[in-house]
Structure 1
Amino acid sequence: MKSLQTIPVGVFLLLALTPNSFAHGGHEQVTIAADADWATRHMAEEHHITSFDAGVFFTLHDYDSSGNWSPDEVRRTYGLMDESTNNVPEEKKADVVRIIMDMYDADKSGTISFAEFTIANAKGVTLPDFGLGPGHHGDDEYEYEIHHFEKYHDENTKEEDLTHPEDIAHFAKHDREEDEREELERRQKAGIIEANIPAKFRRSA
């Protein structure tokens, strides 16, 4: 990541100790150069962070704080677990993970350590852009907020102003999920659900 900038050590330590508090940076839109590398674009678009180094990038995406990136963490960082990549063939996703592991897993342990990542970065190795987007890995609420609400709305927006297709789809999903929860609760309160009983065990009328 040649374009990664260094942040103060104190800020890095704070980030490392409290990753959830800084995982998404501020909530102001940021501008990045058209030729920015993938990591820089990811940090700006997904986290609103523009000043960071390889160590910060690694720590922020070490989701289980183990000190290593597993293949699943690579997959998540590139947004391959997000519904926005549901149309990407599994073979392509597996290729992404394989390529990243080949680039950084120097000891072939099956994981990428903090040292392996930062040493490779110091040698000029950069995370490639596979053309699959900036790497969405937040929950639905966060992704909607950072990629739509913040761009087109503000704190003065009223409910009746939320008429964009993205707004409608977001809240329609909320409604579906709420309906599904209510239906599940209704069935649980009803006790045995006949529809869930295999036909061979049902009593004949």
Structure 2
Amino acid sequence: MIAFLVVFLAVARLCLAHGSHEDHGSIEDWATRHMIEEHHISNFDPGSFFMLHDYDSSGVWTVDEVRRTYGLDDSSNAGLTEERKQQILKEIFGIFDPQKTGVIRQSEWMRLSREGKKLPDFGTGPGHHGDLEYEYEIHHFEKYHGDGATEEDLTHPEDIEHFRQHDHAEDAQIQLAKLQQMAIVEANIPIKFLKSPSR
């Protein structure tokens, strides 16, 4: 009985030491939830948040950068209409672009953040804006597998889909390499330029 208790406590300690992958949906501030779930960062300031999401380091957020930060074009938001996406962007820019310049300047972001303005939560999720590999890593692999996982452990539907995507990309790369070796790719010649078969 004591041996069982010791083993149980040791395993429990290891599980707890790994950290939490709990649902952070109870955090009311969207930016904080986004930083925790998407970047594993819980301590940040408005300046670092802005710079991290200024993807081209221009000192302004464009519509495309805000759209990407909120993950509006991610497959998890495929059900959102373009009209709803535009409403979301309009509301964000209404808060952080008071001069209606079409961009959110870092200086305006900082000033308005100090005044207590925050990015709204539109119920569209935490803002998935990484590539497929990054999103798989932080939202599935870390949560269900961890560092000690072997290839044999990766049997969840998400794992299978992830490897299928890799196989598809590899097949496409092989096909492209074959096409690049060809002097003429007949499939690319419009039909009107092809010699019609003689009868």
TM bucket (normalised to shorter chain) is 0.7 to 0.9
How far 1:196 sits from its partner (Å)? 1.6
1:108 aligns with 2:109: no
Q: Does the residue aligned with 1:79 lie in a helix, a strand or coil?
A: coil
Aligned to 2:68: 76
Question: What amino acid does structure 2 have at the position aligned with 1:101?
Answer: F
Query: What is the CA distance between 1:138 and its match in structure 2?
Result: 0.9
C-alpha displacement of 1:50: 0.4
Instruction: Give, in whole Å, the separation in 2 of the partners of 1:200 and 1:182.
Output: 29
1:29–1:150 contact (8 Å) kept in structure 2: no
Deviation, 1:69, is 0.9
1:187 Cα shift? 1.9
Q: What is the deviation of 1:188?
A: 2.0
Q: Which residue of 2 aligns with 1:4?
A: none
Deviation string, structure 1 residues 75-111 (Cα, Å, up to 9, x no partner): 1110123233233211111111111111111222111
Q: Provide the secondary structure at the position in 2 that maps to 1:133.
A: coil
C-alpha contact (below 8 Å) 1:58/1:114 kept by paired residues? yes
Matching residue within 115, 118, 138 for 1:123? 115
CA distance in 2: counterparts of 1:28 and 1:57, whole angstroms: 23
2:179 to 177, 184, 187: 187
1:38 aligns with 2:39: no
Q: Give the root-mean-square deviation of aligned CA atoms.
A: 1.8
Distance 1:30 1:101 in 2: 32
Gaps of 5+ in 2: 1-17
**Residue number in structure 2 paired with 1:142:** 134
Contact 1:77 1:137 in 2 (8 A): yes
Select between 159-168 and 108-117 the one with higher mean Cα deviation.
108-117
**Rg: which structure is higher?**
2
User: How much has 1:33 moved relative to structure 2?
Assistant: 6.9
Give the match for residue 67 of structure 1.
59
1:56 paired residue number: 48
Equivalent position of 1:202 in the other structure: 194
Contact map agreement 1:28 1:150 (CA 8 A) in 2 = no
The offset of 1:151, in angstroms, is: 0.4
CA distance in 2 between counterparts of 1:93 and 1:111 reads 16
Q: 128, 132, 137: which one pairs with 2:124? A: 132
Indicate how the Cα distance of structure 1 residues 57 and 28 shifts in structure 2: closer, same or farther if over 3 A, else same. Answer: farther
Aligned twin of 1:92: 84
Q: Please, which of 169, 185, 189 is the counterpart of residue 177 of structure 1?
A: 169
Moved over 3 A (4+): 27-33
Q: 1:189 to 1:79 in 2, by over 3 A?
A: same
| C-alpha deviation, 1:184, in angstroms | 1.6
- How high is the TM-score relative to the length of structure 1? 0.81
SS of the residue aligned with 1:106?
coil
Letter in 1 for 2:160: I
Structure 1 residues 161 and 30: CA distance shift in structure 2, 3 A: closer
Among candidates 122, 144, 152, match of residue 152 of structure 1: 144
